[in-house]
Amino acid sequence: MSYVMNDAASFADESADGFVAAHRDLVRRVRGGVARATATPPGQVAVVIGGGSGHYPAFAGLVGPGIAHGAAMGNVFASPSTQQVVSVARAAASDAGVLLTYGNYAGDALNFDQAQDQLRAEGIPCQTVRVTDDICSAPAGEQEKRRGIAGDLVVFRAAGWAAEQGLDLESVAAVAARANERTRSIGVAFSGCTLPGADEPLFTVPPGTMAVGMGIHGEPGIETVPMATARDLAELLSSRLLAERPETAGGTSKVGVIVNGLGSVKSEELFLLYGALVPLMEQAGLTIVDPEVGEYATSFEMAGLSLTLVWLDDELEQAWRSPAYTPAYRKGTVELSTVATALAPEEAASDVEAIAAASEEAAAAGVQVLKGLDAIKDVIDREADELGRLDAIAGDGDHGIGMQRGARAAAEAAAAASAANAGPGTVLVQAGDAWADKAGGTSGALWGLALRTMGQQIGDAEAPAAGAVAAAVSAAREAVQRTGKAEIGDKTLVDALVPFSETLAALTSERRGLAQAWAEAAAAATSAARATADLLPRLGRARPHMEKSLGTPDPGAVSFALAVTAVGAVLDAYDLKEN
């Protein structure tokens, strides 16, 4: 639990402000996270890391010479939004492009991938390396599905070193990918953590036992075993990692080692474990290079630890041994004065785009879009508690608050755009970006993407015809499915979105008016959302109690149906006025 707090909702932001205040010489606050206090020199790739808050020093504590150039900082245990990643990457990038590297979690992958698309579209070259070191999170043949834990440090160090050697983007990505390929971790949990403001721990471990391979957010592990001595624990962890020696490691006998504390297992215990590991590594014929024993990726006060091995080659050894100077990780000597010129804080804050005024007809359509978004905000405000209750049954209970944050921000951004006489496309794009930026969670990213996609499709040239609206909804549906990878039947908002989109397309192609077609499509979405009660979820963060959701409809599908129904009511008024 948190002893020091003002308000749970602003915990992550206020903590980040304090962190920056404490490390002004090294980092500056930028929208979405932090960047180095100094500009990235021309010709140097910027390494941008990130993830949810609650894992310090991951991620902001690892920004500085020798490691990262910027960190996107999401809410507590929630991925940063696409906009946050884009904004940090813009602030950190020079002319040589950006490497995005982060632990492989569904929400992070979704948002960082969208950020990559957006950065490339802006002309900023961008590559991605996801960290997949946790051997317990997927079998050996499916390494790309594994999660990232303390092995983050190895990959971030390799990327930062390669970037500072002046390598080009492809080569920096190749070094980071090789570091990831050769890094393996295994964790063990003794007890869970309680998020700021929560009454109950997020997850628990039965007393007297340890959960081998349990994830840092309580994701299920591979087995729960009785507590062991340090010697037996060292044997258990190292034998599992040694059994997974990467094929690409060849004959190397050098390994980097990290003993990482997850929160409340402190230094003396970690050293005890390290001491027990040393003879085991010797017996395996391995030479330890620069061991790290401490906290590198944590989970609030979770009791647990992890062991990481990286099988080094010459280049990776050089990277692993290289100097670094960040708020949380310091090694060797870094000449800060030679790094680059300091930046004025304002220089980072100017990424607001100007809004172009559209024709009178298009601006009037923009006003209709604003009305629709206002209607969504109102219905979500009314239903937020109920949506939270539905999400708490099998999820994490944040769907109501997340939707509320998103819908409010979208309506506000739409109002600003519409006041500047923006056309319908721009109003939707601005609303979508604001939604994704403020909502957090999986649904926030997908709603933001859907609105942005509709906006891009509709454009600002004129007031869109009914068929064009249906085509924009189809494009949004396709983007949501391409990005979230959910199919019908997976118990997600896709179960309501698909019948909505199909009904709208079918009826508008029969030349039915938009208001009537929309109302029937919304009715189809509502019954489809209700029918998700009978489904079992298959996607999203693995939750131990998925069967609990049987009999309860999917919160994302329900909120989607509520939203489109509310829009239908204002469209109705629009059509009547036009006729």
Q: 223-226 and 126-131: which strand pairing?
A: unpaired
> Does 396 help bind Mg ion (rule: CB under 5 A)?
yes
Joined together, the tokens standing for residue 165 give 């050697």
Residue type, 123: G
Contact 361, 517 (CB under 8 A): no
φ, ψ at 564 (rounded to 5°): -70, -30
Among 556, 564, 567, 571, binds ligand ADP (CB under 6 A): 556
**69 versus 399: smaller Cβ distance to Mg ion:** 399
**134 versus 398: smaller Cβ distance to Mg ion:** 398
The residue among 332, 403, 410 whose CA lies nearest residue 374 is 410
**151 versus 448: smaller Cβ distance to ligand ADP:** 448
Q: 183-191 and 303-311: which strand pairing?
A: antiparallel
Q: CB under 5 to 8 A by kind: which of ligand ADP, Mg ion, none does 540 bind?
A: ligand ADP
DSSP letters for 32-88: TEEEESBPPPTTPPEEEEEEEESSTTTTGGGBSTTSBSEEEEEEETSPPPHHHHHHH
The contact pattern for ligand ADP, residues 432-451, with x = CB under 6 A and - = no contact, is: ---------xxx--x-----
Among 398, 433, 460, 554, binds Mg ion (CB under 5 A): 398
φ, ψ at 204 (rounded to 5°): -135, 160
Report the distance separating Cα 105 and Cα 540, nearest Å. 9
Q: CB under 5 to 8 A by kind: which of ligand ADP, Mg ion, none does 454 bind?
A: none
Stretch that binds ligand ADP, among 64-72, 151-159, 296-304, 555-563 (CB under 6 A): 555-563
Cβ-proximal residues to 239 (8 Å cutoff; 6+ apart), any chain: none
Among 557, 562, 566, 570, binds ligand ADP (CB under 6 A): 557
> Does 399 help bind Mg ion (rule: CB under 5 A)?
yes
* Distance in Å, CB of 402 to Mg ion, minimum: 7
Q: CB under 5 to 8 A by kind: which of ligand ADP, Mg ion, none does 493 bind?
A: ligand ADP
> Does 101 help bind ligand ADP (rule: CB under 6 A)?
no
Among 134, 391, 433, 437, binds ligand ADP (CB under 6 A): 391
* Distance in Å, CB of 496 to ligand ADP, minimum: 8
Reduced to 3 states, what is the DSSP secondary structure of residue 459?
Answer: coil
Residues paired with 294 in a beta bridge: 260
Q: CB under 5 to 8 A by kind: which of ligand ADP, Mg ion, none does 65 bind?
A: none
Reduced to 3 states, what is the DSSP secondary structure of residue 140?
Answer: helix
Report the distance separating Cα 449 and Cα 396, nearest Å. 22
> Does 395 help bind ligand ADP (rule: CB under 6 A)?
yes
23 is catalytic: no
Stretch that binds Mg ion, among 70-78, 347-355, 393-401, 419-427 (CB under 5 A): 393-401
**299 versus 442: smaller Cβ distance to ligand ADP:** 442
Give, in degrees to the nearest 5, the angle at Cα 57 between 55 and 63.
125
Contact 562, 379 (CB under 8 A): yes
Reduced to 3 states, what is the DSSP secondary structure of residue 188?
Answer: strand
Among 61, 103, 366, 395, binds Mg ion (CB under 5 A): 395
DSSP 552: S
Contact 309, 183 (CB under 8 A): yes
Report the distance separating Cα 326 and Cα 360, nearest Å. 53
Stretch that binds ligand ADP, among 271-279, 303-311, 338-346, 554-562 (CB under 6 A): 554-562
Q: CB under 5 to 8 A by kind: which of Mg ion, ligand ADP, none does 539 bind?
A: ligand ADP
Among 32, 553, 555, 568, binds ligand ADP (CB under 6 A): 555
* Distance in Å, CB of 485 to ligand ADP, minimum: 6
**501 versus 532: smaller Cβ distance to Mg ion:** 532
Residues paired with 49 in a beta bridge: 71
Residue pointed to by tokens 């040589």: 96
Stretch that binds ligand ADP, among 42-50, 150-158, 288-296, 485-493 (CB under 6 A): 485-493
**151 versus 402: smaller Cβ distance to ligand ADP:** 402
**372 versus 537: smaller Cβ distance to Mg ion:** 537
**157 versus 408: smaller Cβ distance to ligand ADP:** 408
The contact pattern for Mg ion, residues 299-338, with x = CB under 5 A and - = no contact, is: ----------------------------------------
Report the distance separating Cα 527 and Cα 115, nearest Å. 34
Residues 402-431 that bind ligand ADP (CB under 6 A): 402
Residues 487-516 that bind ligand ADP (CB under 6 A): 492-494
Contact 423, 460 (CB under 8 A): yes
CA atoms 430, 367, 522, 501: torsion sign: negative
Report the distance separating Cα 413 and Cα 433, nearest Å. 9
φ, ψ at 304 (rounded to 5°): 170, 175
Q: CB under 5 to 8 A by kind: which of Mg ion, ligand ADP, none does 107 bind?
A: ligand ADP
> Does 391 help bind Mg ion (rule: CB under 5 A)?
yes
Residue facing ligand ADP at closest CB distance: 556
Contact 83, 437 (CB under 8 A): yes
Neighbours of 550 (CB within 10 A): 14
Length of the chain, please? 579
Among residues 55, 69, 217, 399, the one annotated as catalytic is 217
Distance of CA 373 to the CA centre of its chain: 25
* Distance in Å, CB of 107 to ligand ADP, minimum: 6
**215 versus 464: smaller Cβ distance to ligand ADP:** 215
Reduced to 3 states, what is the DSSP secondary structure of residue 191?
Answer: strand
Q: CB under 5 to 8 A by kind: which of Mg ion, ligand ADP, none does 557 bind?
A: ligand ADP
Using CB under 6 A as the binding criterion, the count of chain residues that bind ligand ADP stands at 23
**479 versus 494: smaller Cβ distance to ligand ADP:** 494
Residues that bind Mg ion (CB under 5 A): 391, 395-396, 398-399
Residue ranges binding ligand ADP (CB under 6 A): 107, 391, 395-396, 398-399, 402, 441-443, 446, 484-486, 492-494, 539-540, 554-557
Query: Which residues carry out catalysis?
Result: 217
